[in-house]
A and B are shown apart, each in its own frame.
Chain A
Amino acid sequence: AQSVTQLGSHVSVSEGALVLLRCNYSSSVPPYLFWYVQYPNQGLQLLLKYTTGATLVKGINGFEAEFKKSETSFHLTKPSAHMSDAAEYFCAVIRSGGSYIPTFGRGTSLIVHP
């Protein structure tokens, strides 16, 4: 079964600093990968997704992620953090085997300091 592992339950950065949230997947076939964001007391919303084609994927709010097959990774980055980026971030993979059902990592809480 496909799964994702998010390294670090909490990441703390200063405003203006680089944001790097890590996600590794386990898959024997090319996966479909997603990053979602959850703001306090809200549901999840899609940041970006990788299906096929270009391995560098750009999303909303200045975020991007790069699919690296050799490293089985799909890390999320943003060059300069804003206070409004403070949220919970989830990496997700579509589970294969005939049914494409979103399977989520445990989440990483991004804390942004002034």
Chain B
Amino acid sequence: NAGVTQTPKFQVLKTGQSMTLQCAQDMNHNSMYWYRQDPGMGLRLIYYSASEGTTDKGEVPNGYNVSRLNKREFSLRLESAAPSQTSVYFCASSEGIHSPNTEAFFGQGTRLTVV
């Protein structure tokens, strides 16, 4: 079972470069999320997509953009990378944000370093 697949797993960028993190889920979930994980900070929500065609800002959206390409795919773009964006990024999905009895399923993460 693939579940949630993220690419790439590792990436090193120079300050000012751009890149897109890809995420795809095969569980027919409605909602998808992007989190970043930093030491001592836990997981913080960057953006989420409640359903296909909608996206909304989370707790830390500055410097990022997202696209919900279709029901399966949700990408995260860094237009001009900064060292403060060095982090581990996780994509997750769930049945839907309007269903409280739901769990989130996570990808393996993308470890991004901006130098």
| A interface, CB within 8 angstroms of B | 6, 9, 32, 34, 41-46, 49, 51, 90, 92, 94, 96, 98-107
Contact = CB atoms under 8 A, between A and B. Distances in A.
Given A99-B98, A100-B97, A106-B42, A43 B103 contact: no
B97 A107 contact: no
Contacts, number: 61
B106 A101 contact: no
Interface in B88-115: 90, 92, 94, 97-104, 106-109
Contacts of A99: 50, 97-98
A104 B42 contact: yes
Interface of B, helix, strand, loop or mixed by DSSP = loop
A43 B33 contact: no
B35 to A, nearest CB: 8
Contact of B106 (A32, A34, A43, A107): A43
29 contacts: A9-B40, A32-B101, A41-B108, A42-B108, A43-B90, A43-B106, A43-B107, A43-B109, A44-B43, A46-B103, A46-B104, A90-B42, A99-B50, A99-B97, A100-B97, A100-B98, A100-B100, A101-B33, A101-B48, A101-B58, A101-B97, A102-B33, A102-B104, A103-B45, A104-B35, A104-B42, A104-B43, A104-B44, A106-B42
B42 A105 contact: yes
Interface string B29-58: 000010100001111110010100000001
A32 B40 contact: no
A100 B99 contact: yes
Given A41-B109, A46-B103, 12 more contacts: A44-B104, A45-B106, A90-B42, A92-B104, A100-B102, A101-B33, A101-B45, A101-B48, A102-B33, A102-B92, A104-B35, A106-B41
Interface residues of B, number: 27
Contacts of A42: 108-109
